[in-house]
Structure 1
């Protein structure tokens, strides 16, 4: 049997608080390291899950916007339909097709040639057609 020496609490040969802290320092450091790694891991997982939700919401919004865009394209094509526009011009605006003698056909211009500011009609009614960009 072995006997252990009793530890005296006097100022003689006792263990100091500094020595105890020195022995516990590696364990405390290791615990702090594991806690930090765990915290960083949990934080990164939370951020990944949050980004997944945001991506899912963005994809849902994208699909809704694509459907809305397709619907608007169809509506635009319907509104630009020449038959519909002619019907609106006749019924709502009271417009009609001009008689054949009232239509003046201008000759096509070459690409490099400048337009005249005014082109006068060829018949005796003195109908004038002016360029919209020219000052009067």
Structure 2
């Protein structure tokens, strides 16, 4: 069992997409699109979902461009409370999905995707959330 081989008793098991599992932690990152600079970082146990980690890296104002992992009611409510405009690429099965708008949001997020993949490769933390905060 995991408890017999795990050295870190605080680490947890995380799951992505129902078939990819890891043990450890997850890094949530917010990046300013204008400067390309990281403006917030949070580390949670791997079992914390991207949408629950959002509160730790959500900007104080402006717009935030996120992927479908953040299309949840709690994320929408948190963004609304802070006055943050949530620009989320919608899940394909959502009734209000707008393919043209999603294409636009994806184009805005695209320059940062390569950056996030590089961080994953050099990070000593096991997983990086693909959260991109763009303060416009």
Smaller-chain TM-score bracket: under 0.3
Structure ID, larger Rg: 1
Q: Identify the structure with the greater helix proportion.
A: 1
More strand by share: 2
TM-score w.r.t. length of structure 2: 0.18
Which structure is higher in RCO with an 8 Å CA cutoff and minimum separation 6? 2
Q: TM-score, with normalisation over the residues of structure 1?
A: 0.18
